[in-house]
Amino acid sequence: MPDERLQVITGVTPPELAEARIREAWPSVARSPALATLGRMLTATIVLAPLGWLIMAVGYFGKLLPFVARRYTLTNRRVMIRHGITGKPGEQVLLGDIDDVRVETDSNSDFFRAATLAIIVKGQVALKFRGVPEAEGFREAILNACSAWVPGRKRGPFIAANAPAATGAAK
pLDDT in tens, 13-41: 777 778 888 999 999 888 888 888 888 88
Q: What is the DSSP letter of 161?
A: T
Mean pLDDT to the nearest integer, 80-88 = 89
- pLDDT given for residue 100 in this prediction: 92
Q: In the CATH hierarchy, which fold is given to the domain comprising 4-149?
A: PH-domain like (2.30.29)
- pLDDT given for residue 78 in this prediction: 93
Q: Are 43 and 127 in contact (CB under 8 A)?
A: no
Please give the C-alpha separations between residue 88 and each of 81, 82, 142, 163, in angstroms, as whole numbers. Answer: 9, 5, 20, 44
- pLDDT given for residue 61 in this prediction: 81
Q: Residues 10, 15, 21, 24: is their CA dihedral positive or negative?
A: positive
Using one digit for the tens of pLDDT, what is the confidence trace for 102-137? 999 988 888 888 999 999 999 999 999 999 999 999
Mean pLDDT to the nearest integer, 51-58 = 86
Name which residue leads in pLDDT, 2 or 112: 112
* pLDDT band of 155, cuts 50, 70, 90: low
d(CA 35, CA 54) in angstroms, rounded, equals 11
Segments making up each domain of the chain, as ranges: 4-149
CA end-to-end span of the chain: 50
Asked if the model's pLDDT at residue 60 lies above 50, the reply is yes
Selection from 86-90, 138-142, 154-158 with the highest mean pLDDT: 138-142
* Window from 59-63, 79-83, 118-122, 151-155 with minimum mean pLDDT: 151-155
